Amino acid sequence: MATSTTEAVAGAAPEHGEKIIDPIHQFQIHKIIDLGPFSLTNSGLWAIIAVVCVTLLFLLAPKQLIPSRLQSAAESIYEFIHNMTEEVLHENARTYFPFVLTLFTFILFCNVLGLIPYSFTVTSHIIVTLALALVVFIGATIIGFIRNGFGYLKLFVPSGVPIYLLPLVVIIEIVSYFIRPMSLSIRLFANMMAGHMMLKVMGGFVVMLGVAAGWLPLIAMVGLYGLELLVAALQAYVFALLTCMYLSDAMHVDH
Amino acid sequence: MEVDAAKMIGAGIAAVALGGAGIGIGHIFGNYLAGALRNPAAAAGQRGTLFLGFAFAEATGLIGFAVAMLILYG
C-alpha cells in the first residue's frame, strides 16, 4: 500500500514544474466566485464549510441514552469545554460557555479541515487569527471595565510588590496586557502555517526519493501527520483556554 | 555577498530557534514524568497543563521555522 501511495505522489510531482517543494503555494487566496469586494475566496469557502460541519455535528448528533459515535463526539467536545470553563471561570462559566464553545469548535474544525490534502487552512492566515484574538481581547477589556469600573486598572498594579519596583512592574504589566492579542493570534497562525509547510517540505523529500527509497520517509510522514492532528486540536484548546483566562482576569481583578 | 547565499544563511540561523523549542519541550515532558513518578495519583490531573506548556514551548520554535521558510520561499 505504501508503494502505491508513493507512486501517486511521485506521479503528481511534475505538475509543479521545476521546483517540487513550494510550501507557500498552498496558502494563496484566490477568488472562487468573483463579486468585487464581496467575492467568495477559498478561505471564505473553507470557513463556511467549517461552520456547516460544526452545525451539522451538533444538530445531527442523536440524543439517545446509549450514545452513537457521532453523539459521543459532540458530547465529548461539549463536556470538555464545559469542564474547562467551570474550572477557570467558576460562577461565571454559564455566561461565557457558549462563546468559548463556538470559538473552540470553529478553530478546531478550521484546523482539522485544513489537514485534508488540497484543502485550505483558514487559520493559517494571521488576519483571521488576529480578528478572532481582537474579538476576545476587546471583549474581555470591555467586560472588565463594565464589571469593575476603573477598578479594572488594578490589574496592572499587582499587590505585594515593593514600592521602588512598582513603576517598572506596572509598565511590564501594561505591555504584557497589550501584547496578548498578538501572542494569541501569532501562536495559532504560526503553528498552522509552520505545520503545513513542514508537511509539504517533508512530503517533497518523499517525492524526491521516489518509489525506491521513499516508502520509509512516507511512514515517518504518517507520524508527522499524527503530530499535526495533535497540534491542530491542541492549538484550538490553547486558544479557548487563554480566552477563558482573559475573561477570568476581567471577572476577578483582585486575584 | 550574493542575495541567494545570504537567504540560505539567514534561513539556517532562523532555524536555530527550533533547538530552543526542543530544549523547552524536553524540560516540560521530563519534569512532568519526574513529577508523575513521584506522585502518580496527581499525574492525570496535570495533563492539561502539560499540553498547554508543550504548546507554548512549541509555538516559539515554530515561529522560527516559519521565519526560515518565509526567507527561503516567501
Q: What is the pLDDT of residues B17-59, one digit of tens each?
A: 889 999 999 999 999 999 999 999 988 888 878 888 888 888 7
Q: Inspect the interface and report whether the beta carbons of B51 and A237 lie closer than 8 Å.
A: yes
For A226, the grid coordinates are 499524527
pLDDT of residue A162: 86
Kindly state the average pLDDT of the residues A38-59: 92
B65:A234 CB<8 A: no
Q: What is the pLDDT of residue B38?
A: 94
Dist CA B17 CA B14 (whole Å): 6
pLDDT band at A80 (very low <50, low <70, confident <90, very high): very high
Run of H or E residues at A32: strand A31-33
Q: Taking CB atoms and an 8 Å limit, are B51 and A234 in contact across chains? A: yes
Report CB contact under 8 Å: B59, A190.
yes
What's the ipTM? 0.72
* Separation of alpha carbons A222 and A237, rounded Å: 23
Can you name the CATH fold of B3-73? F1FO ATP Synthase (1.20.20)
Taking the CA of residue A35 and the nearest CA in chain B, the distance in Å comes to 28
DSSP-assigned beta bridge partners for residue A40: A33
Instruction: Assess contact for A173 and A156: CB atoms under 8 A.
Output: yes
| pLDDT value for A255 | 56
Q: Which of residues 209-248 of A touch B (CB under 8 A)?
A: 231, 234-235, 237-238, 241
pTM of the model: 0.82
pLDDT of residue A104: 95
A197:B52 CB<8 A: no
Is the confidence at residue A7, as pLDDT, over 60? no
- Look over chain A and give the mean of its residue pLDDT values, rounded to a whole number: 85
With H, G, I as helix, E, B as strand and everything else as coil, classify residue A33. strand
Q: CA dihedral defined by A56, A60, A61, A65, rounded to 10 degrees?
A: 160
CA angle A35, A41, A42 (to 5 degrees): 155
Query: A41 - beta bridge partners?
Result: A31
Asked if A201 has any chain B CB less than 8 Å from its own CB, the reply is: yes
- Tell me: the pLDDT tens digits for A138-186? 999 999 999 988 888 888 888 888 888 888 999 998 988 998 898 889 8
Contact A106, A51 (CB under 8 A): yes
Nearest CA in chain A to B71: A24
A124 vs A6, which has greater pLDDT?
A124
- pLDDT(A19) > 80: no
The predicted pLDDT at position A143 comes to 92
What are the boundaries of each domain within chain B?
3-73
Beta bridge partners of A31: A41
* Whole-number pLDDT of residue A20: 61
pLDDT number for residue A13? 43
Q: What pLDDT does B62 receive?
A: 80
